[in-house]
Amino acid sequence: MNETAAAVRQPFVAGTFYPADADALREAVAGYVAGGANASPDAPVPKAIIAPHAGFVYSGPVAGSAYARLAPGRGRISRVVLAGPSHRVWFRGIAVPTVAAFETPLGRVPLDLAAIRRLCAHSFVAARDDAHAAEHSLEVHLPFLQQVLGDFALVPMVVGDAAPDEVAAALEAVWGGPETAIVISSDLSHYHPYDSARTLDEATAAAIASLDMDGIAEQGACGRRPIRGLLQVARRRGLRAATIDLRNSGDTAGPRDRVVGYGSFVFEEPRAALGDETRGFLLAAARDAIAAGADGEPGGWTGDAPAEVRRPGASFVTLTAAGKLRGCIGSLAPRGPLIDDVTRNAWRSAYRDPRFPPVPADEVAGLHIGISVLGTPEEMSAQSEAEVISALRPGVDGVILRDQGRQGTFLPQVWETLPDPATFLGRLKGKAGLPQDYWSPTIRLWRYETESFAEPVGSLGESASENEGIAKTLRGSVTEST
């Protein structure tokens, strides 16, 4: 990867797959997106979409259905990971470009060079401009993205002969948070009679909606390799998939004797159980508990509180100061109302975490508070270590491990610095006081998800190096309250 890349990939299919005139292109895209705007007003912005890549007259209406769902992310989405199949060049693995930007008649799209360098750390990712130069599977999406999102940085990947695990690993490396959207480019079946194509495409759509990567037949989608990788990540991360449009060229602009299938699909992350106001209430209550001082351990909450926080709940409260962990105490199971659990754990994180001295009164204002609300732990099958490793979902699962009277837990945040499931499990065993290579048929494990949120300003987000230090500390220092 050339770190001083300055070249620009010029459009290759402008004037054939889509209009080369900027005004005509804007008008065409606007029409397709408007025609697909059928989502309910409160529908969440998808984390990922699958959309087709044929000439606009054929697949534009179907792609518009997906981009109508992505459009409300304008102003929030600042990076797009775009992956599509290679049609012209055969190669092993995944190809990234060395240029600094991609151009369309609507202007230039800068590349996220730092993210591309991270991808190149994988042995199956290589810099290959030849794979991108004449490839239409990525290019045809750019005008849609430019129109609906405005300014964003691009991470383009042309997928060659790559295994699902490889595509999944690449996507995980650049998955990001709400600022990042994933776009997979693929048409469906090719050149079957209309009725046969409908049957084939309905089977492919059902497999995608159920996150069944093995259900994508060899002839079911030209982008089956990037699709399979996305489905693997979506299953691990608990995303929900839905088909929002399924047509073919016989429905849009072509004859029906030999058609190409098109589908649009959205992938949504689990919805937060707590609204913004409730989150703000818990953060304010946690700060008030800490402000009461070292002698003001909270009892039961006596004031008004949202109904969601009066129900039983378990939480962890993490305190940081100047980018460093200052306390983290939590509960693995509900012991009363969530509001009581949060205020108690906030106070104990400040004044009773055995690894740190109590927070002085003059440092309370400088604390940054983060809260993780735990879902109900689900016991995992643990017939073998390999079974557990294959079942873990990086970035999603918090894990509790118990054996020989010992116990340890990692919150999902620990995946940020231990992304490999085998390493994650080994380090968790070490945290519980067991050898990292230990295994016994008596080991019991539970996984849980968390809803995590934090105060909007503070030291936790000041720099990547500080975040790394906090995550490193969390790997060995999350304490359960007693």
Q: How many C-beta atoms lie closer than 10 Å to residue 277's C-beta?
A: 9
Tell me the pLDDT tens digit for each residue of 238-285. Answer: 888 989 999 999 999 989 999 999 999 999 987 667 888 999 999 999
End-to-end CA distance of the chain, in Å?
51
**Average confidence (pLDDT) over 108-123:** 95
Q: What residue ranges in 310-357 does DSSP mark as E strands?
A: 314-321, 324-330
Residue 4: the pLDDT is 44
Is the pLDDT score of 236 beyond 90? Answer: no
How far is residue 92's CA from residue 38's CA, in Å, rounded to a whole number?
39
pLDDT bracket for residue 117 (50, 70, 90): very high
CATH class of domain segment(s) 8-268: alpha beta
* pLDDT of 46 above 80: yes
Sign of the CA dihedral running 136, 168, 413, 311? positive
* C-alpha distances out from residue 241 to 156, 321, 399, Å: 23, 39, 25
CATH code 3.40.190.290 for 378-448 = no
Q: What is the mean pLDDT of the chain?
A: 90
Give the model's pLDDT for residue 375: 84
- Percent of the chain clearing pLDDT 90 (strictly above): 74
* Domain 276-375+449-480 top-level CATH class: alpha beta
CATH 3.40.830.10 placement within the chain: 8-268
> Across the chain, how many H-helices and E-strands are there?
16, 21
**Domain ranges in the chain with CATH number 3.30.700.20:** 276-375+449-480
SS3 86: coil
- Ramachandran category for residue 127: left, alpha or beta (phi over 0 → left; psi -120 to 50 → alpha): beta
377: its two tokens: 């732990």
Q: How far is CA 408 from the centre of its chain?
A: 26
Three-state secondary-structure class, residue 262: strand
Q: Is the pTM of this model over 0.75?
A: no
In the chain, ranges of CATH 3.30.1490.150 domains: 378-448
CA distance 8 to 110: 9
What is the pLDDT, as a whole number, of residue 197? 95
d(CA 377, CA 397): 10
Q: Please check the confidence at residue 463 and state whether its pLDDT lies above 60.
A: no
Judge whether 117 and 1 are in contact, CB under 8 Å: yes
CA distances from 418 to 81, 279, 386, 446, 478 (A): 22, 27, 17, 18, 15
**Does the pLDDT value for residue 311 go beyond 50?**
yes
